[in-house]
Structures are given as C-alpha cells and as structure tokens.
Amino acid sequence: MVYDIRMISAKDFIRLDAEGRFDLPATQRMFRDTMWACVNSKIGRVLLDIRDASADMTVAQVVSLAAICGEITPTMKDHKIAILNRPKDELDRAQIVASVAAQHHWNIRAFRDFEQAFDWLIVEPDAGMAEPSRPSAAQSQGH
C-alpha cells in the first residue's frame, strides 16, 4: 500500500508573539489551517514532529490543540496522526494529547522514536500492529 505522509514540524504551526511568548490564538489558526490542508488534500497520515518545540504550553492549551484534530480529521481508522516528541520537562504534552484523543476515539498516538512513529503510520488499520510501548520512567528521563 502506498501512503502520502505529511511531516509537519513545530515551527510550521507554533506561533510566538512579538515578545517571544506563546500565542495560542495564532497557533490554533495555523494548526487548524495545516490540518485542514492535510485532510483536504486527502493526506491520511500526519507526523507532527515537535521534538524541537520551545513554547511552554499549559495543559489547557495542549488540549485545545488536540481538540482541533478532532474537529478537522475524519474519525476513520485510515487517518492517523503520530506526534513525535522529546519532552523538555516532566510534563509530556504529546502524551496528554494522545490520552485526550483516545477518550474521543481519535487516531492519534505519541512517540519518542521516529521509526516507531513511522511504522505505526504505515501499518494497515486492521493489521493488528501492537500498540506502541510507553517509555519507562528511566527511558523518559534519558537513563
């Protein structure tokens, strides 16, 4: 099976204001436009690479961005969003998004390993690929 996978980096949608602070409304607009373009172009696989994101977002801000995925992306199993992250603190924002997504049956997962994220994106929805393993506390802290 051939897939068109869109790779989107944090700098493509995260916006800061003139003073360098996180700008939620501008980020929401850019993220909504980016996700809409993927869906409109019939791109069912998206890899959000936020490993280099520098914005300090609150849990509420992260959840508001997750909600955009739910608004825009179809709920069909062949639409997948993999979030590739490297948390800079103890708050794993991508995992929060994945948890919210699971509650709403959105097809979104968080990963720390590129190959695992890519493999999950390309597997057929009914192929029965095992869920990605969650990193242990030692792995999460880089031990």
Per the CB < 8 A criterion, the answer to whether 59 and 91 are in contact is yes
% of the chain residues with pLDDT over 70: 82
Name the fold adopted by 5-125.
Answer: Transcription Regulator spoIIAA (3.30.750)
Let me know if 103 is exposed, middle or buried by CB neighbors in 10 A (0-12, 13-18, 19+): exposed
Tell me: pLDDT of 126 over 90. no
Q: Domain spans of the chain?
A: 5-125
* Confidence at residue 90, expressed as pLDDT on a 0 to 100 scale: 77
Tell me: pLDDT of 113 over 90. yes
- Please, which pLDDT band fits residue 74 given cuts at 50, 70 and 90? low
108-111 β-sheet, strand order = 5-9, 45-49, 80-84, 108-111
Q: Give per-residue pLDDT as tens, 55-73.
A: 778 888 888 888 887 777 7
- Please, which pLDDT band fits residue 127 given cuts at 50, 70 and 90? low
